[in-house]
A and B are shown apart, each in its own frame.
Chain A
Amino acid sequence: MEEKILQSYRVKEHLLDEVFDHNGTIKKPYKKLYSHFNKYNSEDFRKVNDATKLSFLMQGITFATYAENPKGTERIFPFDLMPRIITSTEWAELEKGLIQRNLAINLFLKDIYNDKKILKDKVVPSELIFSSVNYNKYMVDFEPPGGIYNHISGTDLIKHSDGKFYVLEDNVRCPSGVSYVLSNRDALKKALSLLFKELRVGTVFDYAEALSTCLHSVAPEGVDSATCAVLTPGMYNAAYFEHSFLAQSMGLQLVEGRDLFVDHGFLYMKTIYGKKKLDVLYRRVDDEFLDPLVYRADSMLGVPGLMDVYRQGNVSIINAPGTGASDDKAVYSFIPQIIKYYLDEDPILNNVHTYQCEIPAEMDHVLNNMENLVIKPVDQSGGYGIFIGSGASKAEIEEMKQKIKSDPREYVAQPIMNLSTHSTFIEESNCFEPRHVDLRAFTLLGHDYQYILKGGLTRVALKKDSLIVNSSQGGGSKDTWVADVE
């Protein structure tokens, strides 16, 4: 009889696998899934897999990397048919932790741009904040409408070999990926419809409604029925699919900078009938491109005068400019203290221990233990610039040491975390193999409003043994199910 697809799966020693324990026994939450998947032989499975991939391409659920290929070939974000399961109990704990963390980050942002108490009390060093390239001086002495800065955040979490979740980083500028959660779910519902019924998987399709509620809740004061829009850099942006997807699912206008203008303290769109006032702008354009009058003068993506309208309180910008001052990887290491300071609570979610290279003793430790550490530039995203000591040559280590010494503020180091692995269908070998995964959880904060997307985006490092999960660097994704399976 032909071998079933999961029979030859081998768990790696020293690593935590989400699906199997070390002696190869299926874990309880995955039992039903396992028996379902084992009905397939590899050929049948490949057929389902190919059909799903093709449907993504035909629907244009793609991202384009124009920098790499000027012709703009579109690729689908690789997607794996085997979902990751998180139990409802585990999720409830994560949810509490995520709310706590993001509320504290919001209070921190409000504080560093206004009273600066936490800096005066020396809980967080002021040099760390004021030296950050993302600290935005146009936000000083200003509070956004609704009092929220980080309306939308994407928190990256991993599960370590000790079985606990750790926060790897906070993304509170323009976190992306939520459209893939919804598209993945759509595809998986068609492929695995029977399982959905059995496992009572938590829905993700309330996201658009939640986001819309969140946007309206922070409209400028005095605006009854706010006009909201999504601001995109345009269709050549890698995440354009997501921008249009979000606008469409909320029934909002998708605007570009060139569609907008400022007049007498208000923001307007250019419509077929002339101007129309805009109250809430969910921008997917980085701070520095938002307004050529205050940031980069050469920006074609922003709106001249936007920051002025914002500071007059006549438009809400989602997320607020300047939130980057808190998702800096050096600030990240202070989040436990930040939570304690503002909420007087112990952090529910763990941080990965982080060494600050600008502290001399910590830099020494880093320089002497390069092989066991991950070195990260504090202000990069997308997995760029990450250095993993265990896989580096001597020359590469030396080069990195020099970089750290010449600019200690720019780098932090963390122990190499053993991200858990998950069974993932690998096309080249036509079978399931363990691959490292992380989890991006999406939190929304509005005026008296909190929401967590149930499940989030599981990202997969498709290259064998790689720890880098970012889509721009060959990562893939999985649907994530929050289910009652204990």
Chain B
Amino acid sequence: MLARVADNLYWLGRYIERTEHLSRYLNIQYFSALDTTSDYQRDLALKSIANMVGIDSEGEGYAFEEEILVAVAMDESNQASIKSCMHFARENARGARDLISREVWNAINKFYRFINDYPEDYYKTQGLFDFTHTTIENCAIIKNRIQSTMLHDEVWAFAKMGLHIERATQITRILISKFEDIKRVKERDNKSVESFQLVTLLKSAEGLDMYHREYSILPQQKETLEFMVLNARFPRSITYNVSSLRKHILQVAPNKGIEKDSIEWNIGRMSEYLKYLTVEEFADDPLSFLNKTLVYLNDLNSLLSKEYLNH
């Protein structure tokens, strides 16, 4: 398989997953904040949304709620917007169109048309839920097509690697963002707001229901952290995604990773570390742990690019 095309597939996976997470985050944050009468909560939600796509919400350009919402979802000049991500996803799919199945391509192309033709005025006034909801559903359809209509060979493995590394990254960023919010909330000493933040955190990862099944209690900080970072059976947890990533890297790896500092060795070590890590070890200072994880994931991306994609 061509290295260039492997790069296309890897980024296809990343952009689809990114599109989905951004949409869900926008949806959940915005609509959860509507449930509260607190201006502070709404302000926090908006800042948190801007933060996820790297917009400086303190900056002058984004004084209004509407502008932030447009910038995150529809702004073509913002490379991190949902619309841009989907554009990149489709361009990557186009570059690998001869290798993916027709079903995958059609699902991507059809969805791209939806996003591309979505009227901005409608979005601003009443379309935010429809836009984000349809986006999340279409990402699920595309991923299902990738799973069920492609050969599970190295072409598929690169798309899956992109998907898992992106999901691990997005989950880590959601956790960082929310735990920073919680820290601020704590400074104001407001317990109910903290629990509200944990609920939106879990919803942002579509994890609230499974959290309830796992713990049978309302979301608590330590349990939420354990669930989202360490749960090996929950497909949105960091551990689950690192371990899946390892599986797919080993699927394409010509040597199975005994060489020190090779990508296979590196991911093997991280995967095993997470397997035996306990929440007590980082619950006191989750942000420091999460920030290190984010750096690790970025390094892993560089290593993967160097090893397989940049020939």
Contact = CB atoms under 8 A, between A and B. Distances in A.
A420 B187 CA distance: 83
B1 interface: yes
Among A59, A269, A272, A273, the one with the most B-chain Cβ atoms within 10 Å of its Cβ is A272
A105 B106 CA distance: 41
Contacts of B6: 272
B1 A272 contact: yes
Interface string B133-160: 0000000000000000000001000100
B214 to A, nearest CB: 38
Nearest to A254: B98
Interface residues of A, number: 24
B311 A270 contact: yes
A154 B254 CA distance: 44
A234 to B, nearest CB: 8
B109 A58 contact: yes
A429 interface: no
Interface string B1-44: 11111100000000000000000000000000000000000000
A259 B2 contact: yes
Task: State the main secondary structure of chain B at its contact with A.
Answer: helix
B176 to A, nearest CB: 32
B95 interface: yes
B254 A60 contact: no
A235 B95 contact: yes
A244 B95 CA distance: 9
Given A58-B109, A60-B109, A272-B308, A235 B4 contact: no
Nearest to B310: A270
A247 B311 contact: no
A445 B95 CA distance: 30
Contact of B98 (A57, A58, A248): A248
A240 B93 CA distance: 13
A60 B108 CA distance: 10
Contact of B311 (A59, A235, A245, A272): A272
Nearest to A235: B94
Contacts of B109: 58-60
Given A270-B4, A272-B311, 11 more contacts: A58-B113, A59-B102, A59-B109, A247-B98, A248-B97, A253-B2, A271-B311, A272-B3, A272-B6, A272-B158, A274-B311
Interface of A: 57-60, 230, 235, 240, 244-245, 247-248, 252-256, 258-259, 269-274
15 contacts: A58-B106, A58-B113, A59-B105, A60-B94, A244-B94, A244-B98, A245-B98, A247-B98, A248-B98, A248-B99, A254-B97, A270-B2, A270-B3, A271-B2, A271-B3
